Chain A
Amino acid sequence: DGGITQSPKYLFRKEGQNVTLSCEQNLNHDAMYWYRQDPGQGLRLIYYSQIVNDFQKGDIAEGYSVSREKKESFPLTVTSAQKNPTAFYLCASSIRTGGGYGYTFGSGTRLTVV
Chain B
Amino acid sequence: DAKTTQPTSMDCAEGRAANLPCNHSTISGNEYVYWYRQIHSQGPQYIIHGLKNNETNEMASLIITEDRKSSTLILPHATLRDTAVYYCIALDISNFGNEKLTFGTGTRLTIIP
Which residues does A use to contact B, with CB under 8 Å?
Answer: 4, 30-31, 33, 35, 40-45, 48, 50, 58, 88, 90, 92, 96-99, 101-108, 110
Question: What is the interface of chain B mostly: helix, strand, loop, or mixed?
Answer: loop
Q: Contact check, B46 vs A104: say whether CB atoms are below 8 A apart.
A: yes
Residues of B contacting A105 with CB < 8 Å? 43-45
CB-contacts of B91-113 with A (<8 A): 93-106
A102–B37 Cα gap in the complex (Å)? 13
Known: A105-B44, A105-B45. A41 touches B105 (CB 8 A): yes
Contact (Cβ within 8 A) B101 A108: no
Query: What are 24 contact pairs spanning A and B, CB under 8 A?
Result: A4-B43, A35-B103, A43-B101, A45-B100, A45-B101, A45-B102, A48-B100, A50-B97, A50-B98, A88-B41, A92-B44, A98-B93, A98-B94, A98-B96, A99-B32, A101-B46, A102-B36, A105-B45, A106-B43, A107-B42, A107-B43, A108-B41, A108-B42, A110-B41
User: How many cross-chain pairs have Cβ atoms below 8 Å apart between A and B?
Assistant: 65
Q: Which residues of A contact B95 (CB under 8 A)?
A: 98
- Whether a CB of chain A sits under 8 angstroms from the CB of B49 is yes
Pairwise interchain contact A33-B100, C-beta atoms closer than 8 A: yes
The interface bits of chain B over 54-82 (1 if a CB of A lies within 8 angstroms of the residue's CB, else 0) are: 00000000000000000000000000000
B contacts, CB < 8 Å to A? 32, 34, 36, 41-46, 49, 87, 93-106
With A42-B104, A42-B106 as known contacts, state yes or no: A99 contacts B42, CB within 8 Å.
no
3 shortest A-B CB distances, which residue pairs?
A105-B43, A99-B93, A42-B103
Contact of B101 among A30, A99, A103, A107 (CB under 8 A): A103
CA distance A103 to B43 in the complex (A): 11
List A contacts of B104 (CB < 8 A).
42
CB < 8 Å neighbour of A97 from B42, B45, B97, B101: B97
